Structure 1
Amino acid sequence: MDNNKPIGIFDSGIGGTSIWSEIHQLLPDEKTIYLADSKNAPYGQKSKAEIIALSCKNTEFLLDMDCKLIVVACNTATTNAIQELRAKYKVPFIGIEPAIKPAATHSKTQTIGILATQGTLNSELFNKNVEKFHNTKIVEQVGHGFVQLIEKGEINSPEMTTLLKSYLTPMIEANIDYLVLGCSHYPYLIPQIKKILPAHIQIIDSGEAAARQTQNVLKKKVGLSNLKNREPLFYTNSDPKVLSEILGNQYEVIEKNF
């Protein structure tokens, strides 16, 4: 396999750029192609069959772009479709899941909160992971409305603040000391979340772990790129403005129907 082929990354929208950013920071010499399926966001309210079909569509787009490895930068797609993707395609896949283990392991109150989509919280893979930590109380909350607001660029809107307060207040009252963000869109809410949570509550997301796993799999199975300073590519099937803005208007975003 050609080491210099790109890494493909897909998400239900712009949220997976939080994962892309960690990968790009750790592996700056790797060419990356990011695919935002914003037209079909959010995945969290779709059936398992729909999520698998969309994940296959996204994978085939990235394989057509000659990607050597694919990162499923979406918790809902990972927990519902990654087994099917690995069975169907030969390319290595990296998935992301809510980081329950570090939160449960380090919790002093033995109570942690998880903010995720309905699709993730309902998935078999997520619930198998939860069962491993039966000594920890896990307060689950679906982030209804978050993805839609983020996709519209309304991260700091009054509506977002109201939603966050309504979801986080019961978790604070339940005495959580860790909050796990179980959706790749949610790291963009961390500045807002920190204004609401007491200072002792730690926030955990999956971005850094996904980047390290990508690096490990490349080293073991594929090989690292030998080329330097290659510009990433970004594709979306929706209005490119919000994706461009969340990237700091540093990169061209290509609108493409897929």
Structure 2
Amino acid sequence: MKNDKPIGIFDSGIGGTSIWKEIHQLLPNEETIYLADSKNAPYGQKSKKDIVALSIKNTEFLLKMDCKLIVVACNTATTNAIEELRTNYPVPFIGIEPAIKPAALYSKTQTIGILATKGTLSSALFTTAIQKYSNTRIIEQVGHGLVQLIEAGAINSAEMHDLLLSYIQPMIAENIDYLVLGCSHYPYLIPQLRKMLPDHIQIIDSGEAVAKQTKNLLADNIGFNGTKSSNAIFYSNTEATVLRGILGDKYQVIEQDF
């Protein structure tokens, strides 16, 4: 089955490019359109009503681009808005949720940590998800300030290092053996986290699983791009220096208010 329409992806800024990279690596022939709603980042501190409204705005932008499916590459938007999106729009949606299941299943200490936004950790969907793993202690930590620093291009700053350390050390003290990253911005912090965490603590994010789910959905219901070449376009509603720095010069980045 062939379907040359693009895959749409949106996030509250540049973080979802970590998801886009996994999708592009697995499906290099697919056309993709990425929406960085950096003007409204972070979503994690907003009300559910505002998160739903922003997710609708992003969805309608991507539908105008004739996207065949939409990846909500934002944990906060997924946990707060994806049900409304699926109810109101006919296009298939793929969400991103913290990868609690593999961490809980494989934890030997039966204690895992999750670093996420307030919007994700306080959502009804997250609360329901963790109830399935009552035998596992889940140490929750809101990553206050991390998204803002990433959006500002301060990934390797001293401020970022000190913030991360203050969040991670209490988890280490609680004897976690898995750290779940519950925000699509956070994979860009993995190199620093590796240096802070003991070797036995595994880091899990959702990018690879989302890419596999995208491939399966295309195979089962939607269809793959039949052309040999692909194109990736990135839209940002703020000045896009940091986004360009993450992507390099290979891809088209358009600064446009939406």
Instruction: Tell me if TM exceeds 0.5.
Output: yes
Partner of 1:237 in structure 2? Answer: 237
Long gaps (5+) in structure 1: none
What SS does the aligned partner of 1:176 have? coil
Q: Is the 8 A contact 1:149 1:160 kept in 2?
A: yes
Task: State the TM-score, normalizing by the size of structure 1.
Answer: 0.99
Distance 1:194 1:249 in 2: 28
Secondary structure of 1:144's counterpart equals coil
Could you say which residue in structure 1 is the equivalent of 2:70?
Answer: 70
Shift, 1:229, TM fit: 2.0
Question: Take 2:99 and 2:132, find their aligned partners in 1: how far apart are those partners?
Answer: 13
What's the counterpart of residue 15 of structure 2? 15
Q: Cα RMSD over matched residues?
A: 0.9
Residue type at the aligned position of 2:244: S
State the alpha-carbon separation in 2 of the partners of residues 211 and 85 from structure 1. Answer: 20
Q: Give the drift of 1:161.
A: 0.1
Alignment-derived partner of residue 162 in structure 2: 162
Deviations 1:222-243 (A, max 9, x none): 1111012222000000111110
Structure 2 CA distance for aligned equivalents of residues 82 and 129 of structure 1: 15
Deviates more, 1:221-230 or 1:199-208: 221-230
Aligned length, in residue pairs: 258
In the alignment, is the contact (CA less than 8 A) between 2:2 and 2:226 conserved in 1? Answer: no
Give the SS at the match of 2:155.
coil
Aligned residue number for residue 47 of structure 1? 47
CA offset digits 1:14-73 (Å, max 9, x no partner)? 000000000000000000000000000000000000000000000000000000000000
Whether 2:88 is the aligned partner of 1:91: answer: no
Compute the displacement of 1:248 (Å).
2.4
- Aligned residue for 1:24, secondary structure, equals helix
8 Å CA contact 2:3, 2:225 repeated in 1? yes
Query: In structure 2, what residue type is equivalent to 1:203?
Result: I
Which stretch shows the higher mean deviation, 2-11 or 31-40? 2-11
**Percent of aligned pairs sharing the same letter:** 72
SS at the partner of 2:133?
A: coil
Quick check: 1:244–1:250 contact (8 Å CA) kept in 2? Answer: no
Aligned partners of 1:119, 1:148: CA distance in 2, in Å? Answer: 15
Answer whether contact 1:30 1:228 (CA < 8 A) is retained.
no
Cα displacement (A) at 1:105: 0.1
Query: Displaced runs of 4+ in structure 1, greater than 2 A?
Result: none
Mapped to 2, the partners of 1:60 and 1:47 lie a distance apart of 20
- The question of whether the paired residues in 1 share the 8 Å contact of 2:30 and 2:231 is answered with no
**Which sections of structure 2, spanning at least 5 residues, go unmatched?**
none
What TM-score results when the alignment is normalised by the length of structure 2? 0.99
Alignment match, 2:251: 251
Query: 1:255 is matched by which residue type in structure 2?
Result: E
Q: For the Cα contact (< 8 Å) 2:24–2:30, is it kept in 1? A: yes
Cα offset for 1:219?
Answer: 1.1
- Measure, in 2, the Cα distance between the counterparts of 1:4 and 1:253: 21
Q: Distance in 2 between matches of 1:29 and 1:144?
A: 37
Query: How far has the Cα of 1:2 moved from its partner?
Result: 6.7
Residue in structure 2 matched with residue 125 of structure 1 by the alignment: 125
- Tell me how far apart the structure 1 counterparts of residues 2 and 243 of structure 2 sit (CA, whole Å): 29
Contact 1:111 1:178 in 2 (8 A): yes
